Amino acid sequence: NPDRTRACPPAPAEEREITVRQGRAVLLIDPPTRHVLTGTVGPAGDVRMADNLDRTIATTGIFANSRFLGEHRNGLCSYAVQMAKRV
């Protein structure tokens, strides 16, 4: 979805990875700058991972059936997120 003042940046072409350890989720959103989003996974598998400085940059969703389904927001831009669990 575009921002009113500018076009949204394209979605990354490279794969991204969410790491979950002891109920804490970490998403490396921009590998070159090592920009990460972090959050706590709830009992139902729900999570909101956000930037430490800018809370408008966030990925929310749910872990279920070996997948993650959610949405990434950066300001007024939003992206659908679908990821499969790796073993």
Q: List the one residue out of 61, 76, 77, 65 whose CA is nearest residue 16.
A: 61
Per-residue pLDDT tens for 14-72?
889 999 999 999 999 888 888 899 999 999 999 999 988 877 889 999 999 999 999 99
Query: What pTM, to 2 d.p., does this model score?
Result: 0.83
